[in-house]
Amino acid sequence: MFDQRDQMYIEYTFTLDEGKVLRYKIDFDRPRAEILDNANYPEWTRLEFQKCGNCPLKSTEYSHCPVAIDAKEIILGFKEILSCSTTDVQVITPERDYFKRCDAQTGLRALIGFVMATSACPILSRMRGMAHYHLPFASIDEIVFRVTTSYLLTQLYLYKDGQQPDWDLIGLKQHYEDMQTLNYDFLQRIRVATEADTNLDVLATLFSISSLLSMNLEQHLEKLKPLFSEWNVTRS
């Protein structure tokens, strides 16, 4: 288990049926250098290489894509592993451990999702608060619940600070539209890094989830509504 100095780490261990073991220890508050030596990193990690269409970063301030740098070792580690490969995935967080026997894509999607949300990307870092309470292998309903409550908590803090809150979730819908663009463009970057299908499947799945939530968020929220009907207390 974690000691005090490791409390901000999350560790993923993949034990594949063919015997290969991959282990990744991710620091939530990992150091981030803005300018890196090109000689130490592959071409596809440079900021201007297949740059996301909505990326707000400038190459004069960032030499490399923060997400590509953070995900580089994971992407290369899974380069020769097919998404359908069966694996045991153990996730150790400061609070508890998780275990799931699943295909490689499911485990990798959970890991990549956490790495992306805790990167220095200005778009993805909006999800850092939710990533702090990381839930591996989340279902669509769980994702909807988590992202919505996380966003509404942010609005509550804004309201208490005297700012204008967004109770209609307009900003959340816009965020997932931004995510669609980012995931699709980042997928083009990853195509250069690997010829196996695992990473492509994972990014394609993340693109599908962001697309689904941007278009059908209200529908998913309506599905969850009966679970919270007991809070509808009539005030006199």
Q: Provide CB contacts within 8 A for 6, sequence distance 6+.
A: 94
Does residue 236 fall inside a structural domain?
Answer: no
Whole-structure pTM value: 0.85
Rounded (5°) CA angle 104-105-108 = 85
Q: How confident is the model at residue 232 (pLDDT cuts 50, 70, 90)?
A: low
Domain count across the chain: 1
pLDDT higher than 50, residue 140: yes
For residues 47-70, give the mean pLDDT. 93
Between CA 180 and CA 39 the distance in angstroms is 31
* CA atoms within a 13 Å half-sphere pointing along the CA-CB vector of 138: 20
Q: What is the percent of the chain where pLDDT is above 70? A: 86
Question: Does residue 121 sit within a domain?
Answer: yes
* 140 domain residue, yes or no: yes
Average pLDDT for 40-49 = 92
Query: Could you tell me if residue 30 is inside a domain?
Result: yes
Q: Kindly state the average pLDDT of the residues 137-160.
A: 93
What are the pLDDT digits (tens) for 180-200?
Answer: 888 888 888 887 776 655 555
Residue 68 has pLDDT above 60, yes or no: yes
**Contact (CB, 8 A) for 180 and 207:** yes
Q: Note down the domain range covering 130.
A: 4-231
* Cα dihedral value 126, 197, 105, 57, nearest 10: -10
Q: Is residue 180 exposed (0-12), middle (13-18) or buried (19+ Cβ within 10 Å)?
A: buried
Please report the pLDDT score of residue 203 as a whole number.
Answer: 62
* Across 156-167, average pLDDT: 97
**Residue 236 DSSP code:** -
Tell me, yes or no, whether 9 lies in a domain.
yes
The alpha carbon torsion through 191, 192, 194, 195 (nearest 10 deg) reads 70
